[in-house]
Amino acid sequence: MSLRESPLDAALPRVPLGEWTESAVDWATRTLGPVFDAVASVVEALVSPLDQMLNGVPAVAVVAVLAALGWWLRGWRFGLGAAVGLGLVAGMPYWEETMSTLAQVLVASVLALLLAIPLGVLVAENRRASALARPVLDLMQTMPAFVYLIPAIFFFGIGTVPGVLATLVFSMPPGVRLTELGLRQVDKEIVQAAESFGAPPWMVLLRTKLPLALPTIMTGVNQVIMLALSMVVIAGMVGAGGLGDVIMFSLSQVEVGSGFEGGIAVVVLAVVLDRLTDSVGDRFPSARAQRHAREAA
Amino acid sequence: MSALAVKSLHKIFGSRADEAVRRLAGGAPRAEALAGLPATAAVIDATFEVRPGEIFVVMGLSGSGKSTLIRMLNGLLRPTAGSVRIDGVEVTSLKPAALRRLRRDKVSMVFQHFALMPHRTVLENAGYALEVAGLPKAQRRERAMDALRMVGLTEWADKLPHDLSGGMRQRVGLARALAAGTDILLMDEAFSALDPLIRREIQDQLLELQAELGKTIVFITHDLNEAMRLGDRIAVMRDGRIVQIGTAEEILTDPANDYVAQFVADVDRTRILTAASVMEKPHHVLDVNAGPRVAARALRESQTSVVYVTGPGKRFLGTVTEDEVLRALRENRSNLDGYVSGERVRTVTEDTAVADLFADCAESQHPVAVLDDRGRLTGVIPRITLLSALASATPDEAPHPPVPPPADPATGPAEAELVGGEEIPA
């Protein structure tokens, strides 16, 4: 029996949420066109030079720089591992796509963090903003990633820009949440101490709360980058280029070989980015101090 | 004029605070008065004044409202009703900027868990208040170093707080407050997180610093012994209300109600009572110019083996024994000069706590000599006197432990005067 045949169910009002969304998007496309154009050109201006730069230098140079960074941040073992992994990717036919993906991930993450961290601060300092932001963040995180692509195409057409912007929206929430969490977790007594000596709110925030929240915020940065990487592949569906394209093509042609190569490239990129950003946070004096404090306790 | 004046201060958490204040006005216990109201009263009708240069201790168990109270003094918490005046300025009505200025210039605070910034060095922590005040770096460094010198931590200036022990960290907390140069210091359970031995040490240090600097200190604690040791005056808090304000001795001897009485029942009186309050009048004190014959008679009369000898200005010199007196007689001396020994008898000052007398009493061959601050002999403490003082220092007894009648009945009245007449020093 179909749902609508029950007389009881027939009484339910029909909610044309889909239609409303469509008309809202229509309206936005028509009236906000110039804004979207401006946004698009900014994103474009950020991604393509970075893409060209990463693809302009020899692959060996990129591998060497990332491996050296890994060595410095985490020790020679990781440096060596990064060199081997990235070397493997460089030996496969998709180095160019890998670098495009890296460029997109970096731009999307940096933009996401530029929005997420100040938003996180606002949400941590303001109870009302927090109550407002929570459901929005929940929505952003639980909405299937593909759905972001649809309005992105509407507003920005096909290409890198909608891919990067959909990625930005998708990867932002953990940045906001972990910034908020980090700030809220700062020892109340230390904040009171700062206030008790007459420090104004901005000073308490910049010199006490943020430094102490930094390890948690860095976890947020790490999460944002990882989410951005996962989304950039999906963004291949809107022709964003990079590894997403490779994987989409392999999927449609059932090409196991190239699909696997693209997948491995994503994995290597993910591991390198994850470990690198993970260890950046530990290098701050406040993180070291807090770790020592925990160990001592 | 008082440095700090608090008048019918209330802090109610929750809603309908005004109604809560009104209901509490009758003096009913807070649980009863606020039944059915979505509010809890942390501080109820607190009124007290703190004099300049005084250590004012607020003592109470956890939940008595003392931490809330201290946080209203510098505006970290906004009172529901009542007034806080610092140097005549009403704190409760200050705008944020003025409040920050007041905290910078007048009041600093020391916290229970030190509240040092883990990402800053000891020196940077100590200079925090000066940084907030916008002092140039060199000046900041200098004054922070001075403060660290006061607490004996200059060598640790470039370390991070986690390199330090708990006691040292709180000394940094203290240095941070001292460097601010404010007249008023708020200390919120400042020593409660420290081990007992360290706690005593830092209490001593605070008293030493206080003797030198003469700050006005509001000290919060749940430890009655600490309150008694540090406080010039003590306010006892219970269930949000101040139930008694007085000196340590007043609270011990004249508790305002059963609660306070019960509270002070556990006090270690040996720490409150001093040498002056248990000592006896010395039976035979001779001037050093007295002849050996006088000394011999004194020994015979008292049937003791030593005589206490004083010099010019009644300063205590030491003792002579029978053997020495005999020797002086044989050698036909006109006075006791050269026969007096300072070795046999330990000396203590009048304000030494009874608890600190045991070692001296045990090691002294004869009753310990008690000297005033000019070195004059004011009394002696035989071992048996100390023991009886201890035995009677039980909570149920009279607050002034009666000293057993001495061998010589003639000294009775004088001794009673000595026991009763001494102020208990903080």
Instruction: Please say if the pLDDT value at position B81 is more than 70.
Output: yes
Residue of A189, A208, A293 with shortest CB distance to B111: A189
Residues B261 and B288 in one domain: no
Residues B240 and B335 in one domain: no
Last residue of a domain, one of B228, B245, B267: B267
CA distance, residue B47 to nearest chain A CA (Å): 22
Mean pLDDT of the residues in chain B = 84
Residues B213 and B88 in one domain: yes
- For the segment B77-90, the average pLDDT, to the nearest whole number, is 93
Last residue of a domain, one of B243, B267, B291: B267
pLDDT at B20: 87
pLDDT at B374: 83
Residues B212 and B345 in one domain: no
- Domain with residue B370: its CATH number is 3.10.580.10
Residue of A193, A200, A284 with shortest CB distance to B115: A193
Q: Which two tokens stand for residue A189?
A: 């007594």
Residue of B104, B115, B162 with shortest CB distance to A190: B115
Give residues 73 to 112 of B whose Cβ lies within 8 Å of A: 74, 76, 100-105, 107-109, 111-112
Residue of A190, A192, A284 with shortest CB distance to B117: A190
B135 in A contact zone (CB under 8 Å):
no
Answer yes or no: is B362 within a domain: yes
Tally of CA atoms within 13 A in the half-sphere of B138 that contains its CB: 0
What is the SS3 string spanning B350-417? CCCEHHHCHHHHHHCCCCEEEECCCCEEEEEECHHHHHHHHHHCCCCCCCCCCCCCCCCHHHHHHHHH
Question: Residue B418's pLDDT band (boundaries 50, 70, 90)?
Answer: very low
Last residue of a domain, one of B250, B267, B284: B267
- For the segment B45-72, the average pLDDT, to the nearest whole number, is 92
Residues B96 and B217 in one domain: yes
Residues B222 and B84 in one domain: yes
Q: How far is CA A81 from CA A63, A74, A85, A266, A270, in A?
A: 11, 11, 6, 15, 13
State which residue of chain B sits closest to A286, comparing Cα positions.
B119
Please tell me the distance from the alpha carbon of residue B249 to that of residue B425, in angstroms, as a whole number.
9
Q: How far is CA B322 from CA B300, B315, B415, in A?
A: 9, 22, 26
Answer yes or no: is B340 within a domain: yes
Contacts 24+ apart (CB under 8 A), B305-309: B305/B366, B306/B344, B306/B345, B306/B366, B308/B282, B308/B284, B308/B345, B308/B369, B308/B377, B308/B380, B309/B285, B309/B336, B309/B340
- For the segment B270-294, the average pLDDT, to the nearest whole number, is 79
Answer yes or no: is B240 within a domain: yes
- For the segment B99-116, the average pLDDT, to the nearest whole number, is 93
Are B180 and A293 a contacting pair at CB < 8 A? no
Contact B234, B228 (CB under 8 A): yes
Sequential DSSP letters for chain A? --GGGSHHHHTSPP--HHHHHHHHHHHHHHHSHHHHHHHHHHHHHHHHHHHHHHHHS-HHHHHHHHHHHHHHHH-HHHHHHHHHHHHHHHHSTTHHHHHHHHHHHHHHHHHHHHHHHHHHHHHHH-HHHHHHHHHHHHHHHHS-GGGGHHHHHHHH-SSHHHHHHHHHHHHHHHHHHHHHHHHHHS-HHHHHHHHHTT--HHHIIIIIIHHHHHHHHHHHHHHHHHHHHHHHHHGGGGT--THHHHHHHHHHHT-HHHHHHHHHHHHHHHHHHHHHHHHHHHTSHHHHHHHHHHHH-
Answer yes or no: is B135 within a domain: no
pLDDT digits (tens, 9 = 90+) for B223-241: 888 898 899 999 999 989 9
What residues make up the domain containing B92? 4-106+182-267
Contact B12, B80 (CB under 8 A): yes
- For the segment B147-171, the average pLDDT, to the nearest whole number, is 91
Contact list in B for residue A194 (CB cut-off 8 A) is 117, 128, 132
- For the segment B260-278, the average pLDDT, to the nearest whole number, is 75
Give residues 81 to 110 of A whose Cβ lies within 8 Å of B: none
Please tell me the distance from the alpha carbon of residue A250 to that of residue A260, in angstroms, as a whole number.
9
Residue of A192, A196, A286 with shortest CB distance to B119: A286
Answer yes or no: is B336 within a domain: yes
B67 in A contact zone (CB under 8 Å):
no
State which residue of chain A sits closest to B110, comparing Cα positions.
A193
Contact A237, A188 (CB under 8 A): no
Residues B301 and B245 in one domain: no
pLDDT digits (tens, 9 = 90+) for B169-199: 999 999 999 999 999 999 999 998 888 778 8
Residue of B108, B115, B118 with shortest CB distance to A192: B115
Please tell me the distance from the alpha carbon of residue B58 to that of residue B220, in angstroms, as a whole number.
5
B117 in A contact zone (CB under 8 Å):
yes
Give residues 203 to 262 of B whose Cβ lies within 8 Å of A: none
B121 in A contact zone (CB under 8 Å):
no
Residues B383 and B322 in one domain: yes
Answer yes or no: is B374 within a domain: yes
Share of chain B above pLDDT 90, in %: 41
Q: What are the residue ranges in chain A where pLDDT is below 70?
A: 1-5, 284-297
Contact B408, B382 (CB under 8 A): no
- For the segment B96-106, the average pLDDT, to the nearest whole number, is 93
Residue with tokens 């203590």: B348
Residues B302 and B236 in one domain: no
pLDDT at A6: 75
Residues B199 and B335 in one domain: no
pLDDT at B200: 84
pLDDT at A200: 94
pLDDT digits (tens, 9 = 90+) for A24-71: 888 887 888 888 888 889 999 999 999 999 989 898 999 999 999 999
Answer yes or no: is B327 within a domain: yes
Answer yes or no: is B373 within a domain: yes
Query: CB within 8 A of A104, min separation 6: which ones?
Result: A47, A51, A160, A163, A164, A167, A228, A232, A235, A240, A241, A242
Residues B302 and B256 in one domain: no
Give residues 209 to 228 of A whose Cβ lies within 8 Å of B: 211-212
Q: Hey, of A185, A186, A189, A197, which one would you mutate to test binding to chain B, going by the most B CBs within 10 A of its CB? A: A197
> How many structural domains comprise chain B?
2
- Domain with residue B17: its CATH number is 3.40.50.300
Give residues 294 to 353 of B whose Cβ lies within 8 Å of A: none
Residues B392 and B340 in one domain: yes
